[in-house]
A and B are shown apart, each in its own frame.
Chain A
Amino acid sequence: MNRTLAWIVGIVAGIVALLIVTAAIGNRDKSGETVPADAWAQSVCGGIGTWRGEMEDIIDGIRQVPATGTGVEEPQSQTPQGTTGLVRTGLERGIRATDTLVTGIEDAGTPETARGTEAAQLISRWSTTSRSALEQAQDSLDHEAPTLEEAVVQYAAAAQAMRSVLAAGVQTLVGVAALNPELGAAVQASSTCQQLREEQGST
């Protein structure tokens, strides 16, 4: 076996080892399954917290023009010389982030409570509606508006879609938590929910 082939085999073996280790770590696709209430609260609040982090980054990118920048992100520039997205890019990233949030909440499963099925139905309804709204928003952005007025309406609609998805999500989660006192207690005790409350309180 020549040296190059040995390197390739070694690298492939390393990647396989990494894949095995990652598989062993596991993930949390519990969609369609019931999970303990505390684990459910932990996952859901974690997902929302990550979404908030993404939105912060997006908003910062939109409103902070760089010190010496030109309003565009340059390739291979590792410092924020360009805005990472103007309005359109920011909206597209926001839609993607919200879509990821929906995935996370779907994967969190159904809380294992007396009214778990109802909770699952509420979440499923929200995620279906949300995905549809986000897809519409993305499709709308993919088409160039013929006039300035329509472009503004298009952007406003995309932003509104994100807001609606989040508002409906919060409403859904409040509804789910209200179904059973155990869920309410789980949300109170979860470390990610506590962290989320602190972040919301500080802003």
Chain B
Amino acid sequence: MSTADWLLVAIEGLVVIGFIALGVRSGGIGLGLWGGVGTLVLVFLFGLDPGEPPGSAMLIIIAVISAAAAMEAAGGIDYMVVIASKALRARPGALNFAAPYVSYLLTILTGTSNTFYSIVPVINEVARANKMRPERPLASSTVANALGITSSPVAAAMATILPLVEVYNYDLVDVLLITIPASLVGILVMSLFMSRHGKELEDDPEYQRRVAADEVQPPAPLDDIELKPNAKRSVAIFLLAVLAIVVFGLFEDIRPVVAAEGGGVEPLSITPLIMMFMLTAAALIVLLCHVKVNDVPGMPIFRSGMVAMIALFGIAWMADTFIANNEDAIVTALGGLAEKWPFMIAVAIFLVAALTTSQSASTRTMVPLGLALGIGAGYMIAMWTAVVGVLFLPANGTQIAAAEADTTGTTNLGKRVVDHSFQLPLQVVWIVTALVGILIVWLFFGGHTPAPAPTNTTP
């Protein structure tokens, strides 16, 4: 690429960042609207081919918020808040630790972070009911959720890395033995940091402003919450649907099979299954919990979910338009960086994930390069967890959904693109996880892997 080409890529990148900045300043659906304008500018002014809008992620949001809003209409959210608050009565702060681990586990079991949408409103409401700053558990849960991809045996990114390291005698179990303990420690440290982050909810100026402006109501005391008669049933239906998704996510063999293009059959992917189960849960809640269908769109969860979906639509479309046209340039530049200075490989993995917003793209381009540079396979697996860098820019669906769900305003997408609520937990978790992973490899996998095999011959 010529200097002029690089300059053009840089200008296009600045356009994307500029429109993200406009979007986050505008807030709400403004993010999506400005993302749409950015897409238009990239296509008409710079002549780029339009990328793909995030159809699957948007449809999953619709399905999940339909189920969650139906549950809310049936009183199920109140029920979950009461139960969780009772469980946390002795130590409400435990939510800061429990929520990220639950979120991480959901991703491990389903292989996708899209199931996170189902627990966002619950985490938010439990935090608010306990007068905790929702940003703490919400931001760290969002990050833990993305980190779960590298610990999931059924994630697409795992399927990408395994063939790359098999030749070095690392199988699925070995990879999980590195990534899971490292991630558990990373999440713990992140949660510790986040449990002290920011002002307490009642002292937060943005929350105070919203309460004063009547934009948000202070949480009702727990004792004042009147549970509706079918609240428990709606929760049971919702959780059963989540459980079904987990089971089908974990066991591919029990999924329906569909024809594969190359011949034969293959298991149905988890994304349509999530949509089916969530819409079915919504239907069953409406049917069995006597919820009026027209009440569902009026629920706060539905509103915040729709806002998140529109925001995601525009911003992810714009980002993909830039990425689809420039992925080669990004990978070449950061690959060149790692080739020149191999010690930068973890940072390169993080940055490729951040700039392409794709864990798979970062895995398939940077991991082989690191291996070719002679960095041990075990260490590459440890540093692979840096693909959580997809959350570096506030353009991911889970980030937008978490920010929208938090009506107190403590969880936000920032004002200067990178100063969002997820940045601190993200930075803490990727650094700690990579370091702990490296330590695990050094201690238990024979140091600089692969060790050359001894030969019996002498010259």
Contact = CB atoms under 8 A, between A and B. Distances in A.
Decide whether A and B are members of one complex.
Answer: yes
A6 to B, nearest CB: 11
A96 B166 CA distance: 20
Contacts of A177: none
Interface string A15-55: 10111111101111110000011110011011111111110
A79 B267 CA distance: 12
Contact of A79 (B53, B169, B271): B271
B47 interface: no
A117 B126 CA distance: 70
Contacts of A196: 167
Interface string A171-203: 000000000011001100111100110010000
B369 to A, nearest CB: 5
B157 A39 contact: no
B396 interface: yes
Contacts of B164: 50, 53-54
Given A15-B347, A78-B149, A192-B450, A103 B372 contact: yes
Contacts of B331: 96
A34 B52 CA distance: 49
Interface stretch (A56-64, A120-128, A149-157, A158-166): A56-64
A84 B435 CA distance: 31
Chain A at the B interface: mostly helix, strand, loop or mixed?
helix
B357 A185 contact: no
Interface residues of A, number: 77
A152 to B, nearest CB: 19
B459 interface: yes
A76 B331 CA distance: 18
Contacts of B360: 78, 84
Contacts of A169: none
Contact of A192 (B168, B316, B317, B342): B168
B111 interface: yes
Interface string B326-364: 001001000000010011111100000000011110001
Nearest to B320: A75
B102 to A, nearest CB: 18
A66 B357 contact: no
Interface residues of B, number: 88
A47 B438 CA distance: 21
B205 interface: no
A28 B373 contact: yes
B428 to A, nearest CB: 8
Given A27-B342, A27-B374, A78 B450 contact: no
Contacts of B155: 78
A74 interface: yes
Contacts of A199: 166-167
A2 interface: no
B166 A75 contact: no
A53 B163 CA distance: 4
A140 interface: no
B455 A101 contact: no
Contacts, number: 236
B258 interface: yes
A19 B52 CA distance: 35
A47 B458 CA distance: 25
B228 interface: no
Contact of A75 (B52, B260, B267, B379): B52
B163 A52 contact: yes
A114 interface: yes
A57 to B, nearest CB: 6
Contacts of B459: 112-114, 182
Interface string B356-385: 011110001100110111111101000100
A169 B261 CA distance: 32
Contacts of A96: 331, 365
B221 interface: no
Interface in B295-334: 312, 316-317, 319-320, 323, 328, 331
A174 B36 CA distance: 56
A87 interface: no
A77 B452 contact: no
A110 to B, nearest CB: 14
Nearest to B369: A100
B431 A76 contact: no
B364 A107 contact: no
A90 B432 CA distance: 35
Contact of A103 (B373, B428, B454): B373
**Residue among B272, B359, B368 with the most chain A CB within 10 A?**
B368
B105 interface: no
Nearest to B154: A79
Contacts of B368: 50-51, 53-54, 97, 100
Given A22-B343, A79-B156, A107 B373 contact: yes
Contact of B57 (A64, A74, A82, A182): A74
Contacts of B114: 78
Contact of A19 (B166, B347, B372): B347
B18 interface: no
Contacts of B195: none
A79 B342 contact: no
B266 interface: yes
Given A42-B452, A50-B372, 12 more contacts: A27-B343, A29-B342, A52-B163, A54-B163, A56-B163, A67-B267, A76-B357, A78-B359, A93-B364, A96-B331, A114-B459, A182-B457
14 contacts: A19-B346, A22-B375, A29-B342, A47-B372, A50-B167, A53-B166, A54-B163, A64-B260, A67-B258, A76-B397, A78-B149, A80-B269, A81-B271, A182-B457
Across the A-B interface, the 9 shortest Cβ-Cβ residue pairs: A28-B374, A49-B167, A53-B163, A104-B372, A65-B261, A63-B262, A23-B343, A14-B431, A27-B342
